[in-house]
Amino acid sequence: MKFLKIPEATIKRLSVYARYLSNLDAQDRRVISSAELAEECGMNAAQIRKDLAYFGEFGVRGVGYYVKDLLFDIRKILGLNKSWRVALVGVGRLGEALLSYGNFVKQGYHFVAAFDADPAKVGRSIGRDLEVLPMADLPRIVAEREIEIGIITAPAPAAQEVADRLVTAGVRGVLNFAPVRIAVPEGVIVKHVDLTQEFDNLAYLMMTRQQ
């Protein structure tokens, strides 16, 4: 499959489609029209067709989409047929919440290690089978467990150093939840997740709606 430069918004919607298709598939639903899929996802059918058109032809005229096929194709596009090995650094409340969020595993993201700088947290068990490890073990564990993605839920002042350590250890993608920008070398991808932005966006829409 060839990869074009696809708008980020399309990629985000594809992951929404994948989630709904996965629910439908679990209910043994075989076929769905684009109108119905749009309804399920809270979007419009034209948008769905446009998003899918980036990647080729999907669906059958007069029938709709075969749920299993479309799910397979979207998951392939998103790289979700692959399973990703993830480490989390900073086992505070948000870190624990992420570690125990079952949906990540369903989508192919496997937390295979968790680290914390606080000796009081090291050795604690999280979820089914994770144990909080000391930062000193990070380079060895990232290599041994072939970890590709690092999640930073450490406090803001520590975030850059954590990112540096993850990257040095071999991680190629970083999801940063700390409220600070971090820099990574060329070739490594970093995404900043800022939960306050979601609030800001909601507040802005509420305010403009009032006018």
The binding site for its own copies (CB under 8 A) comprises 3, 8, 11-12, 14-16, 18-20, 40-42, 77-80, 82, 84, 92-94, 96-98, 100-101, 103-104, 107-109, 148-149, 172-175, 179, 181, 183, 187, 189, 191-209, 211
Residues 6+ apart with CB under 8 A from 155: 90, 92, 178
C-alpha distances in Å from residue 5, one per residue of 8, 10, 11, 115, 207: 9, 11, 10, 35, 34
Whole-number CA gyration radius for the chain: 20
Query: How near is the Cβ of 6 to its own copies at its closest, in Å?
Result: 8
CB of 77 to its own copies, least distance (A): 8
The smaller minimum CB distance to its own copies, of residues 51 and 96, is found at 96
List the 109-116 sheet strands across, edge first.
125-126, 130-134, 109-116, 84-89, 149-152, 173-176, 189-192
State in angstroms the smallest separation of the CB of 17 from its own copies: 11
Answer yes or no: are the C-beta atoms of 116 and 90 closer than 8 Å: yes
Residue 27 or 62 with smaller CB distance to its own copies: 27
Q: How far is the CB of 118 from its own copies (least distance, A)?
A: 16
Q: Which is nearer to its own copies, 55 or 115 (CB)?
A: 55
Question: With respect to its own copies, which residue has the nearer C-beta, 66 or 84?
Answer: 84
Distance (Å) of CA 198 to CA 35, 113, 195, 202, 210? 28, 28, 5, 6, 19
For residue 62, the minimal CB distance to its own copies (Å) is 27
- Our CB check for its own copies shows the closer of 30 and 82 to be 82
